[in-house]
Structures are given as structure tokens and as C-alpha cells.
Amino acid sequence: MRLSAVAFILAVAFGVSGCQPPADNAQTGDSAPASASSAEASPATAAFDLFRAEGAQVSWVEAQIGPARTVVAGERTYDIGDCTVRMQADDGVVTGYGVPLTAACSNLVLPVLAHFGLPETVEMTFGQFAEARAGTAFRADCLYLCGNAADPWVYLESPGPRVSPGIRASAPLVEGGIIDASFDLRDRMLAEGGEDYVIDARFNCDDTWSAAGREALAPFRIQEIQVGYSPIVRCN
């Protein structure tokens, strides 16, 4: 009876130990593939060449960087690493993109700046942009009676030849210095052209105010670079 009891106890102990899961650092047949998979970078965090997006199918772009986070009309936003990029699309084809001039976006935006002969720095000012791109045109969404729906933006536009898209430097009117400089320019427009001229944004119809606009924006940092932009045209 004693031997039987001992045998029973040993059998139970052996059975319990055999059912225990392996230790956390134990190697199993399934653990190696899981580890290798977790080491791979996801498409959305890998570096992406924005030049390849221009004229590409949206489906191809999203196979490289993942789906859009938002889609509003023809504009789509993508998170590429820590950088949020905007892309314009028409009939499923990318026609342009905007990328912030920030440290988080430097790996995406610096090659774009180099391609267009611009200073390769995320600290670039409108003045530096104008020096590198001759004949830039001043444009703005709105300078007078703009309402509160959205912050207006100001731009320096540099059109490209037919085989190459144009490039545009832009910033929203949200900080004191650039707001004051833009509104000083607006007041000069009001004095010379009248309210209807400024309200209807007819300053976007030609280059009458481009030299003054370049001078006004020169000291301020660019917030976003846009390639393949849609020109602001509201001229009758």
C-alpha cells in the first residue's frame, strides 16, 4: 500500500509538471517566425519617395504607405511615420501633395527641396524660397472679411515647365508676425484697389502685388511645401 501511494503521488507530480507552459524565454518552434515578423517595418513607417507619388495610382501609393487616414473630396491625408502628408487625387490618380516643413518630415521633404533647387533646410523662409525660385507670385486664400470657417493661407507660387509640376511655399495666418505683415499688405491693396478688389481676391489674378508680397513674407518661415498645387484662380 505504501509503494502504491508513493507511485500515485509521483505520477501526479509528473503529470502536473508535464502540463506546465514553457518558460517565457524558452524557444519553441513557433516563436522564431513571430520574432522575425515583429522586426519588419510597416509600410507606413518606411521612408517613401514622394516623387513617385506624383501621377501614380492612389491604389499603388496606398500599397506602399497604407490607407488614407482621412478623405475629404479630392484631398487625402496619410501618416508616414510621424509626418502627415496631404495628397490631391483626381480619378484615382495623385495630382499633387503637401508636406510640412518640420523635423518630423525632413526625410520626406528635404529630397523635394533639393530637386527644386531650394535650400535643404526645414527652417527655410519665404525670402530664401523667392531667392531660389525667380519670379514667384504672391497669392492668398483671403485677406479681408474672411470669416471663421478656416484660417486663410498665404503663398508664394513658382510654376514649373509642362513636364514638371510647380512648387508652392505656404503658411497659415495664425501667428502675429505674418498676420501683421499680410494685413499691412492688405491695407495697401484696399487703399489702391478698393474693398471689392480685396474681397474678391483679384490680387490673385495677376502679379501686380507679387513683389510687395515677396517682401512682406520674406522673414517668415514656410510651414508647408506643396508640389503639383492647384492655382488659386477666382478671376472673372
Report the alpha-carbon distance of residue 202 to residue 204 in Å, rounded. Answer: 5
* pLDDT above 80 (res 27): no
Give residue 233's pLDDT. 61
Between these two residues, 202 and 150, which has the higher pLDDT value?
202
Q: Is the pLDDT of residue 224 over 50?
A: yes
- The string of pLDDT tens digits covering residues 129-185 is 999 999 999 999 999 999 887 899 999 999 887 667 899 999 999 999 999 999 999
Residue 163: inside a domain = yes
Residue 116 domain-assigned? Answer: no
Domain with 132 in it: 123-236
144 falls within a domain: yes
Closest CA to 98 of 236, 230, 233, 225: 225
> Which of 118, 117, 129 has the alpha carbon at shortest distance from 157?
129
pLDDT tens digit string along 38-66? 333 344 444 789 989 999 999 999 999 99
Quote the pLDDT of residue 30: 43
What's the pLDDT score for residue 97?
A: 96
What is the structure's pLDDT at 42? 42
In a domain, 156, yes or no: yes
Evaluate whether residue 79 is within a structural domain.
no
**Which H helix or E strand runs over 89?**
strand 83-90
Is residue 152 situated within a structural domain? yes
Phi, psi of 160 (to 5 degrees): -105, 170
Would you state the pLDDT for residue 150?
85
- Identify the bridge partners of residue 90 per DSSP, sorted by sequence position: 93
The verdict on residue 43 lying in a domain is no
For residue 162, CA distances in Å to 110, 165, 205, 217, 225 come to 23, 7, 20, 27, 19
Q: What's the average model confidence in pLDDT over 201-227?
A: 96
**pTM (2 decimals)?**
0.78
31 lies in some domain: no
| Strand duo 167-172 + 153-158: pairing | antiparallel
Give pLDDT tens digits for 73-84.
Answer: 889 999 999 999
Domain count, the chain: 1
